[in-house]
Structure 1
Amino acid sequence: MGILDVIDDSTSKAAKKGEDYISKTKEYYALKVFQQLALMSSFFIKVVIFGSLIILGIIFIAISGANALSILLESSVLGYLAMGLIFLILTGFIYLGRHVIDKRIIKKLSQNYFEK
């Protein structure tokens, strides 16, 4: 009966180690999900705060630029129209460079997700 006791003991130890491994793996992935959620939440909050302030700044710059162009062109309509065209041209450049922006975002997110 000694050999059966040794096999039973070995089987029990292997089962225990397997359960421990599954438990630790589950804990690891729970922490990994928490880390990613915390990083993404922090990122989105910063984007909202900085984005809001930047948009306010751009609005004030656009209004003052349009007023300056209105004085220069001696027409309010032409000043505001010129400022609108400047924004459309900037939007076109950003649209043309959208693939570069996508690549940078994917690279940054992949470093953040796979290397931590």
Structure 2
Amino acid sequence: MSLIDSISETNAKASDVGEKYLKTSYKYYKLKIFQQLSISTSLIFKIVIIGGLLLIGLSFSAIALAFLIGKALGSYTLGFVIVGILFLCLSLISYFLRKHINNYTVKLLSEKFFN
């Protein structure tokens, strides 16, 4: 009977250790998910705020540049066309570099996610 009691006691200890491990793992992953969500949320807010302000600044700069070029050439329409072509060229360059942008983004986010 002593052997059976010993095995039963060992099983109870193993069960307690396993249960404690599961609870600790659950708490850890819960904290890890919270950390990742808070980092992602703050990143989205920063992108929206900084991106919005950057877009407004870029819009005003583009309009000012169009007026400046138009005044220099004597035709405001021509100035706006040149600025439009400039933005189209920048868009094409961005399109052709999209794979590099994706790789950079994945690399940057993976460092934050897996650390």
Q: TM-score, normalised by structure 1?
A: 0.95
2:34 counterpart residue number: 34
Number of residue equivalences: 115
Cα distance in 1, alignment partners of residues 112 and 76 from structure 2: 48
Alignment of 1:64-103 (within 5 A): 64-103=64-103
Residue ranges of structure 2 left out of the alignment (5+ in a row): none
CA distance in 2: counterparts of 1:81 and 1:62, whole angstroms: 11
Question: Cα distance, 1:75 vs. partner?
Answer: 0.8
Please list every run of at least 4 consecutive aligned residues from structure 1 whose deviation after the TM superposition is greater than 2 angstroms: none
Matched residue SS, 1:89: helix
Provide the C-alpha distance between the structure 2 equivalents of 1:90 and 1:7, rounded to a whole number of angstroms. Answer: 73
Matches within 5 A, 1:6-21: 6-21=6-21
- Percent of aligned positions that are identical: 37
Distance 2:71 2:107 in 1: 45
Which letter does structure 2 place at the counterpart of 1:12?
A
Over aligned residues, Cα RMSD in angstroms?
A: 0.8
Alpha-carbon deviation of 1:28?
Answer: 1.1
Residue segments in structure 1 that go unaligned for 5+ positions in a row:
none
Residue 2 of structure 1 and its aligned partner are, at CA, apart by 1.5
TM-score, with length taken from structure 2:
0.96
The whole-number CA distance in structure 2 between the counterparts of 1:79 and 1:113 is 45
Q: Give the drift of 1:79.
A: 0.8
Q: Distance in 2 between matches of 1:51 and 1:109?
A: 18
